[in-house]
Structure 1
Amino acid sequence: MARGERQRKPTRGWVRRIAGWTVRAALIFVVLSVVVVGIYRFVPPPFTLTMAGDIFAGRSVTKSWRSLDDIDPDMARAVIAGEDSSFCSHHGFDYSAIAAAAIRNASGGRIRGGSTISQQTAKNVFLWQGGGYVRKAGEAWFTLLIEAIWGKRRIMEVYLNVAETGIGTYGVEAGARRYFGHGAGRLTEREAARIAAVLPLPKKRAGIAPQGFTRRYGNTIVRRIGVVRRERLDACVR
């Protein structure tokens, strides 16, 4: 046997081993992710990596789970109005919003995303904040899973319970009590809109006595809530 052939055989062996390990790891990830998503179809997610980040930073975490039936309907309308007007009609991704965000971002100025409520829920529950191709790929995978396994009502319910509504505050129930002194079951349109206006930057915006952009954005969401109601853009969560 020639010397070159002896060198190539061990190399091919390592390539096959690495390929085998990669395939097994991918299969394990797929199975585990499907199992966890299936469990969370019925069980409230107990914790998220974003909450862990708050704890590591020395902040306390406040959260209180509330079923979608016990949350004022205007809260779901407010997040649809402010975050994802096509929530009930898309299958996890709003490609027109993604394309529009890409065009805006390419032209400079304030960076804006095109994420749907489904994508944000997938990120909040299963992944970490921030960008990167790995996180984006994971977000896409978990978005497909929750759309297929959970359905729209469960996605909205989980989103309203795990979204960060203030520093160390998670879910609209905790947010409503922090800002307005009562639960999320009896929010006014303006209160729901103020919580929705906080969601894009919860560590920098306040739901009570908002100023500047947050106040204007909240007022815009109040007007859009009526549109969501009249056009039944929230039909999939009713």
Structure 2
Amino acid sequence: MNQLNLAGRVAIVTGGARGIGLAIARRAAGSGAAVAIWDIDRTAAEAAAATLERASAHVLDLTDEAAIGAALAATCAAHGRVDILVNNAGITGGNAPSWELPTAEWKRVVEVNLIAPFMVTRAVVPRMIDAGYGRVVNIASIAGKEGNPNASHYSASKAGLIGFTKSLGKELARTGVLANCITPAAAETDIFHQMTPEQIAWMRSKIPMDRFVKVEEIAALACWLASEDCSFSTGAVFDISGGRAVY
């Protein structure tokens, strides 16, 4: 596996205890970065951090603004600063037609998938601006481009994350801080447990390569976007959907 140069960098990965987030944490650590895993699952976060060099685990609810501030302070105490932020944590909220989804469930998905990344970014980015360098990578979804049926809450939250990234990229364009997002097709992770078999089969049927994306493939793209090699892309949306979306 080729390695990107993240030597000396410090990365926060939300939802970094498993799945896509853990793959990104591993790839970043393998490329020389110190990694702060932010996750709500203490056991999984601590176990993940224990497998990596220069890693720390920070347990928090990402929808709690005070908890975000405390985790950021603890991260900086452990590692000195933050150079990279990967907003990866998310939930699907189950599957149903829009008119059958409970309002509370709709709000919860938007809160975790869109409002939480905004609050984390709002806390972290000023430190990057002060340092004159930073990389923000938001993990959105192909659903945010196309709108998956029976997943309107998830699709809307990821579309919002794409829009947020575009605005953020323009706002930061002259600061040395870049913000981009990735729109993967589905990967076989624990999030599948929140979905029906019919929804999973439908998602695979939409992918011309006829397979789900590997978490390691997403991690490779995320870590390139987190590196100095990515220097002239900001506010951009990077597709990794096996040919499903070509725009």
TM-score after normalising by structure 2:
0.25
- Please say which structure displays the higher CA radius of gyration: 1
- Relative to its length, the structure with more helix (as a share) is 1
Structure with larger RCO (C-alpha < 8 A, sep 6+): 1
